[in-house]
Homo-oligomer: A and B are copies of this chain.
């Protein structure tokens, strides 16, 4: 397995692979890999000759009061996991290798990125779009695999790929959950034992939305009321509870199949997100 810290070297390697006829599947991550990431790597392996994983905690997508500094990191563990998963190359750049001191170019999405996480995390999606545009140019994959857990991110990047004509196909892999239903996330490590148990209310609220809808309820207000009740009973601090249409992420009044129920909530200081396609 090759490990690259320099963007130009990574790019050269990718170009050589492309010219020699190999297809590249790419999984962008912020590291501290878990089984959710492994499922993305497996999806990429099924689609392409070679898998490249990037491990980069991207400061540009964190707000000034967010957890950039404390975000969990484990380079050695990540490399072992990638090696075990048959990854061909890991791109693990330093901050300086990714951003020049006078960097002044960014990629902005101005529609899908405004609501939901975009409301509570201004600048987040600009950071995400910019770093993923860079990574796509460096790694030049045919396929990029993202997780459905970051539903809005996947929608925004789908839009970016379309609007900027990136020559890559995007695959969205299903949410991986712990046996008790908590969506896998590197941030779960932050949770105390008690919070870990509280956090189950997020998955429970989504299950409630699902069951409610398939029992015949179509009022978004009523379904969201029940979701909020579930979260509040477990003392979670709600950022948003929303039901949107799948492509434009517009809140709906009357719920239809294919709409998406989404939750962001704080469990102590830890912000968790999860969603469910109805």
Q: Are A105 and B164 in contact (CB under 8 A)?
A: yes
A interface, over-half SS: mixed
Q: Which of A69-77, A107-115, A212-220 contacts B (4 or more CB under 8 A)?
A: A107-115
**Taking the full assembly, how many copies of this chain does it contain?**
2
- Bound-state Cα–Cα, A185 to B102, Å: 32
Partner of A167, one of B99, B137, B164, B166: B137
* Residue A159 is within 8 A (CB to CB) of chain B in the complex: yes
Q: Assess whether A11 is interfacial by the CB under 8 Å rule.
A: yes
Q: Give the residues in chain B near A134, CB-CB below 8 Å.
A: 163-165
Which of the candidate stretches A13-21, A188-196, A252-260 sits at the interface with the other chain? A13-21
Minimal beta-carbon separation of A130 from chain B (angstroms) = 8
Chain B: which residue is nearest A126 at the CB level? B108
Closest to A130 in B: B164
**Other-chain residue from B19, B103, B110 in contact with A106 (beta carbon distance below 8 A):** B110
A275 at the interface (CB under 8 A from B): no
Chain B, Cβ-Cβ closest to A157 = B105
- For the complex, is A148 an interface residue (Cβ under 8 Å from B)? no
Q: Is the Cβ of B106 less than 8 Å from the Cβ of A108?
A: yes
Q: Are B19 and A164 in contact (CB under 8 A)?
A: no
- Does A133 sit within 8 A of B, measured CB to CB? yes
Q: A79: CB under 8 A from chain B?
A: no
- Closest chain B CB from A95 CB (angstroms): 14
Inter-chain contact A15/B107, CB cutoff 8 Å: no
